[in-house]
Amino acid sequence: MQRANSRTVTVDLTHGDEYFGQLGPFEVELGWWSSVDEVVARATELAGVPVLVARLVDGQSDDSGHGGRVRYHAEALQRPVALNSRPLEGDTAALLAPARLRAAWATPDGLREALDWAEARLAAVGRPSAAPARQIRTWNLSGLFRLPTATGADAWLKTTTPAFNAHEGEVISLLGGVDPSLVPTVLAADPAGGRLLLDHVPGEDCWSPSAETVADVVPRLVAAQAALAGRREDLAGLRDRTPGALLAQLERLLDRLPEETDLTPAELDRVRDLAADLPESLDRLAACGLPETLVHGDFHPGNWRSDGRSSVVVDYADACLGHPALDGLRPRAYLTPEAWRHHARVWTEAWRRHAPGSDPALALELAEPLHHLSYALRYQEFLDHIETAERPYHEGDPAAELRAALASGLRS
């Protein structure tokens, strides 16, 4: 499917307890529903006052999460005197009503609290805000804001839900203790509130990484993971996503699959067979000799940033204790076959250096079903923790990953 490069947007505008009707519809570039920079700019123009997007209200598209017609709830930071307030009634009242699983940053009060926290932390480290925060992204998993500072270097505020995400500041501290250049600089962190304030990382996201970038980033992560594997007590606070823990989670999910997915009865039987055969495969994986360690959890090249001189790995919300082959396999879906072969070679050579006598190439093969199973479980975790309006982002992902696990098969 060719993805649309735009979307049609309607915004329901509030200020505190007042409702000011809908803005739009209007067209914005970038089809991704989570990208709200242009939505904010256009809604601010139409409202005549600064506006921030609280959350997605509804999205209609053949390519869920991208393109189509999208509706947002936005909060005016000042009362829009050029607009008239009106009663909030009917379906709109229901759509804008509070929801039990709504993320804190997806509410007007939560937005203000997060930005107030960031501004206070910036002032505390001697880098006070120089202009209003620029909202870049918001969706079921996180919010992202860019904050200009008086020192000239921007900072970034990231908001996540602590209930099902790693404490990123702590993960960055662990990796940074081994290789400070591998991770972004943390300016402040509020783990309980799911808030992280980061220094700007220059460069661009490496969606199509050069061979040189792969040869730089991958061995540095492997070296850090190998060093941390010997410090198991320091990893005790990470979520357990080791192969044994993933198997136990899959077994608990099996009874829910008929209701949670569109898998056919035949596919459900095959998933149960896969789960039954998995222990033997995990024994073979363990015999490859790679240690369980800190795993990034979403180590695709879009989470690498490079300015051509140095590269930094970002976005640690999925970090956990696990098998490093899960990170080794993650870039595959984002690379050409030739680039994947290069990446796999760099990854396996790096692990051979740090784990003499190991067989990382075989580990990549054996871990492929586990890789897909881990993402099926992670996507189901998302669905279990997000409100109904946000489910279209990941509704079909657990089933898709389970089908990929079945297609990859258990290696004999």
Return the CATH superfamily for domain 106-199. Answer: Phosphorylase Kinase; domain 1 (3.30.200.20)
Alpha carbon 137 to its chain's center:
11
Q: Peptide bond before 258: cis, by omega within 30 degrees of 0?
A: no
Residue 132 has pLDDT above 90, yes or no: yes
Domains 106-199 and 204-408 share a fold: no
CA angle 111, 391, 136 (to 5 degrees): 35
pLDDT in the model for residue 410: 46
Beta bridge partners of 320: 295
pLDDT higher than threshold 60 for residue 74: yes
pLDDT per residue as tens digits for the range 264-306: 999 999 999 999 999 999 999 999 999 999 999 999 999 999 9
- The answer for residues whose C-beta is within 8 angstroms of residue 349's C-beta and 6 or more apart is 219
One-character DSSP codes across 143-160: EEEEE-BTTS--EEEEEE
Is domain 204-408 classified as CATH 3.40.50.2300?
Answer: no
Angle, CA of 410, 411 and 412, to the nearest 5°: 115
Q: How confident is the model at residue 4 (pLDDT cuts 50, 70, 90)?
A: confident
- 174 pLDDT more than 70: yes
Q: What is the pLDDT of residue 411?
A: 41
Look up residue 241 and give its DSSP letter: -
Q: Give me the pLDDT at residue 30, please.
A: 82
Domain boundaries, the chain: 6-97, 106-199, 204-408
Q: Mean pLDDT score of the chain, rounded to an integer?
A: 95
Q: What is the dihedral of CA 316, 317, 321, 323, to 10 degrees?
A: -70
Q: What is the pLDDT of residue 412?
A: 36
| pLDDT tens-digit series, residues 346-380 | 999 999 999 999 999 999 999 999 999 999 999 99
Nearest to 147 by CA among 221, 200, 101: 200
> What CA–CA distance (Å, rounded) separates 323 from 355?
14
CA 50/CA 198 separation, integer angstroms: 24
Which pTM value belongs to this model?
A: 0.94
Tokens of 243: 């192969």
Identify the bridge partners of residue 129 per DSSP, sorted by sequence position.
149
